[in-house]
Amino acid sequence: MQYSDPDLPVTTSQENISAEALRALRISEARYRRLFETARDGVLLLNATTAQIEDANPFLTELLGYSHQELLGKKIWEVGAFADLVENQDKFAELQASGYVRYDDLPLHTKSGNKVAVEFVSNVYECEGVSVIQCNIRDIRARKRADEKIVELAFYDPLTHLPNRTLLMDRLKQAISVGDRNGTCGALLFLDLDNFKTLNDTLGHDVGDALLQQVGQRLLHNVRQGDTVARLGGDEFVVVLASLHHQVQEAANQALEVGNNLLDALDQPYRLGSVEHRNTASIGATLFSRNTASIDELLKQADLAMYKAKDMGRNALQFFDPAMQTVVLERASLEKQLRKALQQGQLTLYYQPQVVGDGRLTGAEALVRWLHPESGLMAPGEFIPLAEETGLILPLGQWVLMTACQQLAQWAMQPQMAHLTLAVNVSASQFKRADFVSLVHKALDSTGANPQRLKLELTESLLVDHVPAVIEKMFTLKAKGVSFSLDDFGTGYSSLAYLKRMPLDQLKIDRSFVSEVLSDQHDASIAKTIITLAQSLGLSVIAEGVEIEAQRDFLANAGCHAYQGYLFGKAVSLEEFELNALR
């Protein structure tokens, strides 16, 4: 069988193969160069025998700031970029002998002197009888920044960049372990800024944040390098002092010295934008040594001591005393009992007369009392602060509102009592509830009480934030017929601009001004000013705490003709109040 025409020229099989191989080689070389030059990792090729740089791709030259020509032919240790990898010929021999080398985080040096963190992997291979070391170099700076950000978010406070609670617990655990090994004591200082909420409410959260940042820096500058300053959140900071004296009293003296230095540092003026501000702090301290309490217990102890420092007048340091624990346990027990009291009907309302002129009864203020099964009748001051702290003020306040409305409905059926107005205190947290308006409507509608006989007494603390929402709720209730009195006027942060916008009916002069109105010119001036202000705004005014006729006469001459106080009657039970009213 003939496979070709003998007259045609013959091309040998070898020639065809050579041409195809050459073409394939050119294609392979082009692909390699394309990959080499566009790779987003650096590639460095070294002669494994001479240590000379044979090639470097554009990504690597751009990363290091060298031109291609500046690298070619140089021995690797002659290029400063690789100083931390191969400082001399001996180090290169180690790289050559290893065959495979990997560094997860290796610093290379740019031509300008900066350091670049890279991941470095090298392999040795043979190419046409020549040993070549191929180094793959990946820029990991972005990854490291991301990792550092993750660590920062996990262990550091984003505002002050101080350790957060998680890192604090770890540092505290380490400090306790060091003390156990060395036989030394340590101290935990729990710090809370005084009146920080007032600053936030009056100047804004941005200013508050600026203060927290400056506080953090002052704390850092006034402790030892090995001590820990952490921010728990809000305006609470913790300082851990490790490796103090082995004797407890000496360690306490050291902690006291540091604490006093911190108080002094924090008491210096702060520059907050255009405002110069003074702010103090209260510090609670507790010591730890061998067989110390748990970390959580230490924090509780220091926290208790801090509140004791606030009770002492603020800007003070107080060490933990076991007696404080007893107080806390008693408060916890009281909270449990108060919850039970709400469920079992142990609360009752007392009524203090509100009068005009020489004593004509116009209404009363409803004041809650606790008929405690063991302690007897408890006044509001003994449990209302606890209710505010624990959130029980919300169900308690709703009970008072509902009970007051029930009483108004009952008085409406008695001709001699139907004209009376009943004032009910509403806490700021209660009023700010999203459903407060509907809860008032429910109390009125379910009991059939006349809204025009219900007066809600609000405190000035309600006016430090979210004022538009407060005013909107007031107008909604005002449309229903409910009236409003601003309680304890003159003791808070009321803005005259807000007073003009609020649908108020009455200002109430605080008893602190009334009690000294005859002996203190300052209090007398304040009382007169409040009366004049109320008149200018078209509001009525009532004075509380009126105990003697001379006080009543002074107020009457100043233009105030409504009163509440012992001169006209103390708060009494419903039966006694009605008996007095019907005389």
Q: What is the pLDDT of residues 290-347, one digit of tens each?
A: 767 789 989 999 999 999 999 888 999 999 887 766 766 677 788 899 999 999 999 9
Alpha carbon separation from 7 to 3, 13, 216, 341 (Å, rounded): 12, 18, 99, 121
Are the CB atoms for 353 and 364 separated by under 8 Å? yes
Residue 8 has pLDDT above 50, yes or no: no
Are the CB atoms for 485 and 505 separated by under 8 Å? yes
pLDDT of residue 248: 86
Kindly state the DSSP code that residue 60 receives in the 8-state scheme. H
Are the CB atoms for 543 and 514 separated by under 8 Å? yes
Alpha-carbon torsion angle 410, 414, 415, 421, nearest 10: -30
Indicate the pairing of strand 186-193 with strand 236-241: antiparallel
Q: What is the pLDDT of residues 406-461, one digit of tens each?
A: 999 999 999 999 999 999 999 988 998 999 999 999 999 999 999 999 999 998 77
Residues 404 and 422: their CA atoms lie apart, in Å, by: 7
pLDDT of residue 5: 46
**Residue spans per domain, the chain:** 13-143, 161-320, 335-581
Runs of H (alpha helix) within 156-247: 165-182, 196-203, 205-220
**Which whole number is the average pLDDT over 344-370?**
96
Domain 13-143 - what CATH class? alpha beta
**Which whole number is the average pLDDT over 381-402?**
92
Q: What is the pLDDT of residues 159-183, one digit of tens each?
A: 999 999 999 999 999 999 999 888 8
Average pLDDT value for the chain: 89
Q: What is the pLDDT of residues 62-113, one digit of tens each?
A: 999 999 999 999 998 889 888 888 766 666 777 777 778 888 998 999 999 9
> Model-level pTM?
0.53
Residue 492 has pLDDT above 60, yes or no: no
pLDDT of residue 88: 60
pLDDT of residue 1: 37
Q: What are phi and psi of 109, to 5 degrees?
A: -110, 125
Residues 459 and 491: their CA atoms lie apart, in Å, by: 9
CATH 3.40.50.2300 applies to domain 161-320: no
Token pair belonging to 20: 């195809």
Residues 273 and 287: their CA atoms lie apart, in Å, by: 38
The DSSP result for 71-117, as a single string, is HTT-BGGGSGGGTTT--SHHHHHHHHHHSEEEEEEEEEE-TTS-EEE
User: How far does Cα 385 stand from its chain's mean position?
Assistant: 22
Q: What is the pLDDT of residues 428-437, one digit of tens each?
A: 889 989 999 9
Please report how many Cα atoms fall inside a 13 Å half-sphere around the Cα of residue 268, on the Cβ side: 11
The CATH number of the domain covering residues in 335-581: 3.20.20.450
